[in-house]
Amino acid sequence: MNGHATGTFDITNWTDLATEEKAGATFGRNHIAKTFHGDLAGTSTTEILTVVTPEGPAAYVGVEHFEGTLHGRKGTFALQHSAASHNGEQWMKWQIVPTSGTGELAGLTGEGTIRAEDGHHYLLDYTLPDA
């Protein structure tokens, strides 16, 4: 089955784990907790690696573990993040890690985007084996 999930999430905790100043950039490592609303309902934990430059462009990569429901199907899965900004434009993408789905989400694949405008909004296009 092919599906489309949308909704929002709240960042419920942000912990700075490490920061390192380098010539031209600051590198960081962070642990984030989230609560999801909408077609995804549940919680997640995320580890990200960040880079910020003095002129403002930034980027991050990360991995996230989600636990909850996707359109009412219960389970867990992992997401891989990639994001950057430049000249006021930003993009944030995520991809479901293949074979990471458990429970009723076993076999889940797909990818999506995150938009940080008036909160955090997600879009996830996915494929899930029929029940």
- For 38-87, the pLDDT digits (tens) are 999 999 999 999 999 988 779 999 999 999 999 999 999 999 999 998 88
> Is 70 exceeded by the pLDDT of residue 103?
yes
* SS3 assignment, position 34: strand
Residue 96 backbone class (left: φ over 0; alpha: ψ -120 to 50; beta: rest): beta
Q: Given this model, what pLDDT does residue 110 score?
A: 97
Q: For the chain, which residues make up each domain, given as ranges?
A: 2-127
CB 66 within 8 Å of CB 40: yes
* HSE-CB of 117 using CA atoms within 13 angstroms: 8
Q: Amino acid identity, residue 126? A: Y
The residue written with tokens 């002129």 in the block is 55
| Average pLDDT over every residue of 86-110 | 93
Class of domain 2-127: mainly beta
